[in-house]
Structure 1
Amino acid sequence: MIQIARGIIILFFLSFFLSCNAPHDNLLDPVNTKYPFVSIEGTVQTFSVPYAGIAGVTVYWQSGNILVTTDSSGKYLINRIKPVNGKLIYSKEGYRADTVEIIWHRAKKISRNVNLNKIPKLDSISIYTVVINQYYPSQTANLFINAKISDSDNDISNVFIVNNGLNLNRALNFNVTSKIYQIELSTADLHIIDIEETIGLNFNIVVKDIFSRLFNVGSEKVTRVIKKGVIIRGPANDTTISPLPDLQWQRYTPGYPFSYMIEIYTNDFANSQLIESKAGISPDSISYQVQNPLPAGDYYWVIWVIDKFKNRVRSLPATFRVK
């Protein structure tokens, strides 16, 4: 009996040992060399350093019509797919999509890491018209564009203002102090005769990166052109007044919300200097008392009308003297 039991034990261990080294004939066993499926894995990261995983990126395996999404670390896995050559397409809102070609070459697993480029974002934009009334030439009008753009990858090369109807494609200047892209355009720059031709037109902001890729990041319309300026009552015509003049004008009723802004300049044709400026004056006002005494000299003053979209018009200048 003991010999029989001993033989059973030996037979059990022998069969166990042989089974562990037996060939994996099951085709669904991943260890089987004939396993018919393959897998793709990888990480999606930011384009700029320090690299960080991007969560929520859609990874599309075109050959198998399979969609997966990256996890919180930017990792993804596409498992149990047939080894058919094809393309992986990576996409997420706010990023430039990328495509990777996959060729298997009998591989069972392929790892592909990509870096997605953040699309520049238009944080703010203002497009407004400025009309200046003067004695000669009688009136000038310009279009001002200010755009604030953020780009975490810091790969902006140029920013353009574009309107195909006006055949306009001009690079904006970057103001290093305000961090704003801006430009001032005359009617000649806009290829028009009257600034009112811009009303209602869409002006697109297009960003070009260091790889010469273009991104249309937003647009804005011209809402209004204000041509009629305020009529000044006084002081004017080189009137001699006290150092604290009371500036007066006729009531202005354009039919839309606005505010006044007053500016006082030295009347020096070669080197005129701004002496005082006061913005945000109520539309109900028809006068303004200068707050700081003016030194003796020759001056002129103007009054602006500014609407809520920043469109504005300047009055004709009025001159005065202070003893």
Structure 2
Amino acid sequence: MEHLRLLKIFLLILFTNFFLSCLDDVPHDNPLDSHNNQGFVLQGKVTTFYPPVQTISNAVITLFPDETKFFSNADGEFEISGLSPGKYTVLCSAEGYAQDSITVDIQSNINIDFHLDGLPFFENISLTTHHEIHSFQAEDFFFLNIESMVNDLDGIADINKVFFEIPEVSVIDTLEPSLDAGLFRKWLSIDDLPVSTIQTLIGRAFILNVSDDAGTTTQSEKRFLTRVIEQTPSLTAPISFQTEFSDTLIFEWQKLNLSYWFEYTIEISQIIQGSPVKAQDISNISASENSIAIVNTLSRGDYTWLIKVTDEFGNTSSSSSNGRFHIN
């Protein structure tokens, strides 16, 4: 009897071990199973911010704290498998877009989507100085012109604001939109700035910023003024309404000797009801010239003219508009 009892105990132990070993082989791949030994899956899609949305391929999905990187496919989709339960931060970035992130507590399979805002960007930035003589005041005036052509991956309509800073003199101001889509500009006189002369701004950094409707801002690199043209050209003839032209227009001025490249432009305005109205420009005149003769295409009337110097950077210096003539 004792042998029989021992045999039963032995068989019971053997059966129990066999049963437990079978239980260990039961798959734990149910995402709701706390003993899931295959890990959880995080998947999602990367698209643009505004409808109709477009998928973004090759977006970089970075999983923290491990900093493991994954990439979205051609359809903007991504999948990360084998994740242990816990908190993760998922960072999504793509070239030309503002990055986005989300923190998730993974206790089961999870799906997250990213809608990335296209970054605004600068196509062109221009900083130029302008020197003018006003004949009615007989004094020099200096101006600063800031222009920027901007765009946005989500379309030009997403541009909200363009502004500039001059940190060294604590200046910040907004550029104004022009009639040309994407072109913003600001024309400033020396009275608009906390400096006594425009020459003070040479060597001081200008920084431009462009913001979109989603609140994303892109900042330019530091930009600098190139020069101020101190000399102004002087007119020789014609300078009086008593000078009359018919078939040929002849303009003369005193030639400037500058140490850098420049060219002349003649600007002609017609006097209509007492006010000047631009009539014609004669551009690309060589710096070596001090006169020019052109075929007259202007209608009868009184006119004024001035000559302007422009360097390779777009800085200008203009004569006073005291040149006058009459067309028969």
Settle same-fold status: TM greater than 0.5: yes
CA–CA distance in structure 2, aligned partners of residues 276 and 94 of structure 1: 43
Checking the alignment, whether the CA contact within 8 Å between 2:120 and 2:216 is kept in structure 1 is no
Of 243, 247, 254 in structure 2, the residue corresponding to residue 250 of structure 1 is 254
| Alpha-carbon distance in 2 for matches of 1:44, 1:280 | 51
Question: Aligned runs of 1:56-67 on 2, under 5 Å?
Answer: 56-67=58-69
Cα distance in 2 for partners of 1:93, 1:30 equals 37
Instruction: Give the corresponding residue for 1:241.
Output: 244
Task: Give the direction of change, closer, same or farther, for the CA distance of 1:68–1:157 in structure 2 (3 Å limit).
Answer: same
Distance, in Å, in 1 between the alignment partners of 2:140 and 2:30 is 84
Contact 1:64 1:81 in 2 (8 A): no
Which ranges of structure 2 fall in alignment gaps of 5 or more residues? 1-21
Residue 56 of structure 2 corresponds to 54
CA drift of 1:94 comes to: 2.0
Deviation at 1:134, TM superposition (A): 2.3
Deviations 1:164-210 (A, max 9, x none): 22222111111133531111111122221211122232222112232
- Counterpart in 2 of 1:6? none
Deviates more, 1:113-122 or 1:199-208: 199-208
Q: Which amino acid aligns with 2:255?
A: R
Distance in 2 between the 1:209 and 1:296 partners?
A: 50
Secondary structure at the aligned position of 1:52 is classed as coil
**1:138-180 Cα deviation digits (max 9, x unpaired):** 1111111111111132432211111122222111111133531
Distance in 2 (alpha carbons) for counterparts of 1:115 and 1:151: 16
Q: Aligned pair 1:276/2:275, yes or no? A: no
CA distance in 1, matches of 2:240, 2:117: 61
State the 1:267 CA deviation.
Answer: 4.9
Q: Are 2:113 and 1:110 equivalent residues in the alignment?
A: no
| 1:96 counterpart = 2:98 | yes
Question: What secondary structure is seen at the aligned counterpart in 2 of 1:100?
Answer: strand
How much has 1:268 moved relative to structure 2? 6.6
In the TM superposition, residue 281 of structure 1 has moved relative to its aligned partner by 1.3
Return the offset for 1:287. Answer: 1.0
Amino acid at match of 2:187: E
- Displacement of 1:278: 1.0
Aligned 8 A contact 1:148 1:181 in 2: yes
Say which of 162, 165, 169 aligns to 1:159: 162
- For the residue of structure 2 that corresponds to 1:255, the secondary structure is coil
* Counterpart among 43, 46, 60 of residue 44 in structure 1: 46
Match of 1:147 in 2: 148
Secondary structure of the 1:77 match is strand
May I ask how many residue pairs the two structures share in their alignment?
299
Task: Please say which of residues 114-123 and 151-160 is displaced more in the overlay.
Answer: 151-160
Q: Which residue of 1 aligns with 2:6?
A: none
1:232 paired residue number: 235
* TM-score, length basis structure 2: 0.83
- Give the match for residue 203 of structure 1: 206
* Structure 2 residue identity aligned to 1:307: D
Kindly indicate whether residue 304 of structure 2 is the aligned counterpart of residue 303 of structure 1. Answer: no
What is aligned with 1:121? 121
Alpha-carbon distance change, 71 to 295 in structure 1, aligned in 2, over 3 angstroms: closer
Provide the C-alpha distance between the structure 1 equivalents of 2:231 and 2:273, rounded to a whole number of angstroms: 25
**In structure 1, distance between residues paired with 2:181 and 2:319:** 28
1:279-323: CA deviation from partner (whole Å, max 9, x where unpaired): 111222211114225455433211000011110000123333325
The SS at the match of 1:197 is helix
Matched, 1:188 2:174: no
Q: Secondary structure at the match of 2:191?
A: coil
Q: Which residue of 1 aligns with 2:218?
A: 215
Q: Is the 8 A contact 1:63 1:84 kept in 2?
A: no
Contact 1:298 1:319 in 2 (8 A): no
Identity percentage over the alignment? 23
Distance 1:74 1:234, change over 3 A: same
